[in-house]
Amino acid sequence: MHTYYFDMKDGVPVRDKSGLELESDGAAIVHSKLLADRVRKENPEGNRDLRIVIIDESGREVHREQVYPQNT
């Protein structure tokens, strides 16, 4: 298991200080997509620049998930 951090960024980053233990980068990416879906449902008119940035326990950026599609 590896620890992944899911930072929210829209100009000013909000750091995930606790992280989540998952089996792989792929599992972390799936989790970021689920988080993005939840944010869109809770706040459909949110900041269009919002991204979820996955950082692994070594500090490496794994993935950036756009929360709101650019074509809206």
Q: Give the type of residue at 5.
A: Y
- CA-to-CA distance for 27 and 63, rounded, in angstroms? 11
Rounded to whole angstroms, how far apart are CA atoms 24 and 42? Answer: 27
Please write the tens of the pLDDT for every residue from 33-50: 999 999 999 998 888 899
Domain boundaries, the chain: 2-66
Mean pLDDT by 10 residues, the chain (72 residues): 95 88 97 96 90 96 92 54
- Residues 63 and 28: beta-carbon distance below 8 Å: yes
Q: What is the pLDDT of residue 71?
A: 59
Within its chain, how far is the Cα of 68 from the centroid? 12
| Total number of residues shown for the chain | 72
pTM of model > 0.85: yes
Token pair belonging to 33: 């997509």
